[in-house]
Amino acid sequence: MQQGEADSSGSARHYYRDAPETLIEHDLDGLTLLFHRPSGQTHIIDSPMPEILAALSCEPQELRALLGVLADRYDLAVDGDAMQELKAHLDALVSLGLARTAP
């Protein structure tokens, strides 16, 4: 595997977010409304997306390290599917423009 290339779990991929002040967040009946200032778009997200977004740093983080942060913060058991599920949620956040992958 070459440097920067992901293994089959995608764990070598790095994710990050814009500075927290780029979002206005409001909780509404168990959902989270997010206004993304740079794009002018409003998003409605549900758990675990707000928790994942809160755990993301403005500096690129490897998928495996982010999973460790979430497991520690929320006392989660990390099973075989956890990495793929986290990757799917992060990819959804990327598609919304709320997270990014490192070049």
User: What are the tens digits of pLDDT across the range 23-38?
Assistant: 999 999 999 999 999 9
The pLDDT of residue 5 is 40
Question: Could you list the pLDDT tens digit for every one of the 103 residues in the chain?
Answer: 333 444 454 557 899 999 999 999 999 999 999 999 999 999 999 999 999 999 999 999 999 999 999 999 998 888 878 999 999 999 999 999 999 999 7
Domain locations in the chain as residue ranges: 14-101
| Whole-prediction pTM | 0.84
pLDDT tens per residue, range 4-13: 444 454 557 8
- What residues have CB less than 8 Å from 27, skipping those under 6 apart? 33
Q: Could you tell me the CA-to-CA distances from 28 to 25, 32, 34, 49, 101 in Å, in that order?
A: 10, 6, 11, 14, 29
Distance of CA 80 to the CA centre of its chain: 19
